[in-house]
Structure 1
């Protein structure tokens, strides 16, 4: 119950069948969401960040396959890890807050 994405990825790499089943469900759900966004926005690159992206090819190899299997008319984009890794969300939130503070109008 206390396992995180890194623990699950490690178990998948070691051949643990229950971890592989959970990982497969996660990859499938993530691929569904990405294909929805891909269909709506038609990006040339899908960038995946956060803790999951730290799993490297344990995530990206099956994810690329799952996305490609779901495509009908869309072009397959490159699917890559975020350059900032797990810190991207925190940095983005900080920059958004900074932007909001710097544009606030005082009366």
Structure 2
């Protein structure tokens, strides 16, 4: 946001600007995908998960995120077994619902 002189935008807003051809959005998106791919590969090396679930606002971006993320993982992977990438079925609500259920379980 600071680099482009705009306000701090969420994933969906950046994805919309990306689809409109905004070059600043392209740079932000590419960097986010690169960093996320590095994080997933680190997790894969340590924990060897069979599946990685992408949730929150990022999940709402759909293929705009998942396709380049899968490509980045394949390009960066060396010896890692790549986990299956899926979006959270509850999308952006997963964290809120999980917190609510945890609170429900903790209240006597």
TM over 0.5: yes
Q: What number of residue pairs does the alignment pair up?
A: 102
Q: Which ranges in structure 2 are unaligned for 5 or more consecutive residues?
A: 1-6
- Give the TM-score taking structure 2 as reference length: 0.86
- Give the TM-score taking structure 1 as reference length: 0.87
1:30 matched to 2:36? The reply is yes
Task: Give distance in 2, aligned partners of 1:61 and 1:83.
Answer: 17
Matches within 5 A, 1:1-107: 1-102=7-108
Q: CA RMSD of the aligned region, Å?
A: 1.3
| 1:27 counterpart SS class | helix
Task: Give distance in 2, aligned partners of 1:2 and 1:25.
Answer: 15
Task: Give distance in 2, aligned partners of 1:76 and 1:2.
Answer: 32
| 1:55 counterpart SS class | coil
Give per-residue Cα distances to partners, 1:14-51, cap 9 Å, x unaligned. 11111000001111111111111111111111110000
